[in-house]
Amino acid sequence: MQSETPKLYLLYDKILTAYTTILECFVQTEYLNLTEQEKNEAQNILGAKGTKILNLDFSSEQKHLPLQHIYVGGMVPNLIRRKREIGELEEEQLKNFYLKCKEFYMEAAKQILKRFSFEDKDRQALKCLKMLNPTAILDPEIKKKFPSIADLHYFFPKICPNNITELNREWRMLRNVDFSFNQNKTPDIIDFWKHVQELRNGDKSQTFPTLCELVKKSFVPTT
């Protein structure tokens, strides 16, 4: 099923979220979250957390949760409790069940890494597209990660306009525009960039022509 709006810019974060969620099912949280020291040392907390997660050796058993703390769903713990109360579930059976669940999670994580190499240049290019996401532009904390549009030029030189200096100037100016959107609802990517395209200077010229040209080349809606 195809989308009527661009979704490519979401791909990297969506897969990283799925990968992290799987790890949370069997890995101790201290290996997935930043310590206070790591937070203080990090220039970007979200980026630092992602790096920590991707560098994690999840095959190391010392980093795993105790077997009976492994996530097995919402209803299963109660079912296990009832089965144990009436003597229909032996400890060895329960242990094997948890081990099978952990093996399943580990294999799922391995398959994600096999199919989506996060550190691959092409995957990093997808991550870079996040800077064109309205959420990244409108959120004060997220937009700190993207003071320059240089990464886009590095990963996508063929679609970037020739005047990189002007492109970067427009980008830095866009980050400081006080958009009057509903604070409780971020506009979707099409509506946001249509709005940006309609912004005008005092002489009626387009405020962000070079940047809008890049966006048109980056996101082509499918039907």
Can you spell out the DSSP letters for 165-213? HHHHHHHHHHTT------TT-PPPHHHHHHHHHH-B-TTS-BSSHHHHH
Which two three-digit tokens encode residue 220? 């082509």
Query: Of 188 and 31, which is predicted with more confidence?
Result: 31
Q: Is residue 188 part of a domain?
A: yes
Last residue of a domain, one of 88, 115, 142: 115
pLDDT at 2 over 60: no
Q: Is residue 109 part of a domain?
A: yes
Residues 26 and 64 sit within 8 Å (Cβ to Cβ): yes
Task: Supply the pLDDT for residue 223.
Answer: 34
Q: Is residue 150 part of a domain?
A: yes
Could you tell me if 110 and 131 lie in one domain?
Answer: no
Could you tell me if 101 and 152 lie in one domain?
Answer: no
State the Cα–Cα distance between residues 215 and 209, nearest whole angstrom. Answer: 10
Q: Which amino acid is at 44?
A: N
pLDDT at 195 over 80: yes
Mean pLDDT computed over 122-148 = 81
Give 186's pLDDT tier (boundaries 50, 70, 90). Answer: confident
Which two three-digit tokens encode residue 22? 């799987």
Residues 198 and 139 sit within 8 Å (Cβ to Cβ): no
Could you tell me if 44 and 86 lie in one domain?
Answer: yes
Could you tell me if 87 and 127 lie in one domain?
Answer: no
pTM over 0.85: no
Residues 200 and 206 sit within 8 Å (Cβ to Cβ): yes
Contacts of 133 (CB under 8 A, 6+ apart): 9, 10, 189
Closest Cα partner for 5 from 194, 151, 199? 194
Last residue of a domain, one of 115, 130, 149: 115
State the Cα–Cα distance between residues 171 and 102, nearest whole angstrom. Answer: 45
State the Cα–Cα distance between residues 204 and 194, nearest whole angstrom. Answer: 16
Could you tell me if 179 and 208 lie in one domain?
Answer: yes
Could you tell me if 104 and 39 lie in one domain?
Answer: yes
Could you tell me if 127 and 107 lie in one domain?
Answer: no
Could you tell me if 106 and 22 lie in one domain?
Answer: yes
Could you tell me if 76 and 141 lie in one domain?
Answer: no
> In this predicted model, what pLDDT tens digit does every residue of 47-63 receive, in sequence order?
788 889 999 999 999 99
Could you tell me if 125 and 111 lie in one domain?
Answer: no
pLDDT at 5 over 70: no
State the Cα–Cα distance between residues 212 and 215, nearest whole angstrom. Answer: 5
pLDDT at 213 over 50: yes
Could you tell me if 78 and 134 lie in one domain?
Answer: no
Mean pLDDT computed over 183-200 = 86
Could you tell me if 89 and 133 lie in one domain?
Answer: no
Main-chain phi, psi angles of 64, to 5 degrees: -85, 155
Q: Which DSSP category does 215 fall into?
A: H
Q: Is residue 93 part of a domain?
A: yes
Q: Which amino acid is at 157?
A: P
> In this predicted model, what pLDDT tens digit does every residue of 89-124 receive, in sequence order?
899 999 999 999 999 999 999 999 999 988 888 888
Q: Is residue 3 part of a domain?
A: no
Last residue of a domain, one of 59, 80, 115: 115
Q: Is residue 1 part of a domain?
A: no
Q: In which domain, by residue range, is 21 found?
A: 8-115
Our count of domains for the chain comes to: 2
Mean pLDDT computed over 126-152 = 81
Task: Supply the pLDDT for residue 142.
Answer: 74
Q: Is residue 16 part of a domain?
A: yes
pLDDT at 152 over 80: yes
Other Cβ atoms less than 10 A from the Cβ of 193: the count is 22
Q: Is residue 88 part of a domain?
A: yes
